[in-house]
Amino acid sequence: MLRKYLLASSILVVFVLLGAFLISSFGNGATGVPAGGENVKLGGTPQIGNQVTGAKALSQDFANVAKAVTPSVVAINVVTTGKERQRRMPQDFFHFFGPEFKAPEPQPSQGSGSGVIMTADGYICTNNHVIEDAKEGGIEVVLHDKVNFKAKLIGTDPLTDLAVIKIDGKGLPAAALGNSENVQVGEWVLAIGNPLGLTSSVTAGIVSAVGRGIGIIQDNYGIESFIQTDAAINPGNSGGALVNMNGEVIGINAAIATTNAYYQGYGFAVPVNLLKTVAGDIIKYGEVKRGYIGVQIGAVDQTLADALGLGDAKGVIVQGLVEDGAASAAGIQQGDVILMVDGKDVNKPNELQAIIAMHHQGDQVTLKIFRDGKTLEKKVTLRPRSGDQLAAQEKGDAKDESETKDEPSKSVSFEELGFTVRALSPQEKKSLDIETGVVVSDVKPFSEANKRGVGKGDVIIEADRKGVATPGELKKAIESRKSGDSVLLRVRRQADGSTPFVALQIPR
């Protein structure tokens, strides 16, 4: 007898990452004790232990996790007040996922999302954009067993897109909360929520990346350190659980990457350790008691590292200080490179933000910094947010007018770097409230200067940490560098008056 064989086909799914959207069925954007919650006990007991998975056993592992966690994930229906919101359409890479209003004028609308039960007595976490602008009495929670509750809004934190609501329940199945610091790229995860009106849906994928910043929270203080996954996530999944194979919540699903507002390959979840801090504060205080370090920071690439004498591209550079902020009080200086916080490496601005966001006002952190070729430690006591205004930075070395004979019309071009500068006129110095520097009069498109962020109208006030008073002084500083070297400039921005450091590499 001939045996028949069935040849199984495999499908290669090509994911395209083009835009990010918040993933409730409407709404945009999300207030928040160090991890653990300080007297606020969040989460329940794990229902399953570590599982050893094989080819066949993996299916059963998925089933065990889904069975254990799905009862802890709720559906949330919201009726809004009809307040006008900024609508963002899928025309660039990353956007909030907004409501599809059909009427030309703002009017009440209804949308839905998901939530995760955090305590047996009814505290539930979700995304801020799920419940944003909800009218009084307009939040309804539907449990896994289809029992309905009216929910009360406890507090929100737009900077992390998290919120906490409360229902009057007892003995509810609180989800077990994991440790997002242990999440590894490549590990299996499940996304559980209520996408597209399909309640209690479970999808599987892997962790695609950690610590991802996508620029979706439109606030200078926004905190983004998302867990990225390819588990299918769609509108309505917002606020639902991203779960590891131990049945522990490791993230709260918040956004998707898409060009059409639906699943195209990648989703993003707020890490659970950040949730613990935010939710713990909201439950205890009704708001987030977040501490701030008081710095404006930027990434360090190899060009900037070379210019600073740092060697490897690591850490984050302090581009500005908040007046009377924690960092300023601790002796942190503009141009310092923060390498570590409490023994943890930080190599991206959002990594530093996420670590600091899990601390309170009054907490002390230890920073390892690089300054002028040396590493040193600074202890910083975090302070409450005091405003967005950066401290005025010290000017370049002032010179007597007799020492700067350049006329404003005289200019110097740096063809290989792609920009031109000229001297500042006395009137410009007065209007800019600046004593020295040279103004950028032209920048070529796609040049080194253009790529590094030098803009027309910016004023270069330092080169390699020395004040620049004339185009000739800048020319001398740049020409002293060899091919392949980097020169460190300090630039006063025309747009906002900030004075960041910018590194330019001399062409090889």
Q: DSSP readout, 139-163?
A: EEEE-TT--EEE-EEEEEETTTTEE
Cα distance between residue 62 and residue 261, in whole Å: 27
| One-letter amino acid of 418 | G
Catalytic residue list contains 161: yes
Q: DSSP readout, 93-121?
A: S---------SSS----EEEEEEEE-STT
Cα distance between residue 16 and residue 5, in whole Å: 35
Which helix (H) or strand (E) segment holds residue 329: the answer is helix 326-329
Cα distance between residue 390 and residue 322, in whole Å: 4
Nearest to 297 by CA among 349, 333, 359, 341: 349
| One-letter amino acid of 94 | F
| One-letter amino acid of 113 | G
Cα distance between residue 421 and residue 460, in whole Å: 9
| One-letter amino acid of 162 | L
| One-letter amino acid of 239 | G
Cα distance between residue 486 and residue 101, in whole Å: 51
Is the separation of the CB atoms in 85 and 28 below 8 Å? yes
Q: What single DSSP character describes residue 411?
A: E
- Select which of 61, 133, 157, 161 is catalytic: 161
- Select which of 72, 238, 328, 486 is catalytic: 238
Nearest to 350 by CA among 381, 322, 316, 327: 316
| One-letter amino acid of 301 | D
Q: What single DSSP character describes residue 299?
A: E
Cα distance between residue 472 and residue 483, in whole Å: 20
Is the separation of the CB atoms in 76 and 113 below 8 Å? yes
- Select which of 24, 72, 114, 129 is catalytic: 129
Catalytic residue list contains 238: yes
- Residue numbers annotated as active site: 129, 161, 238
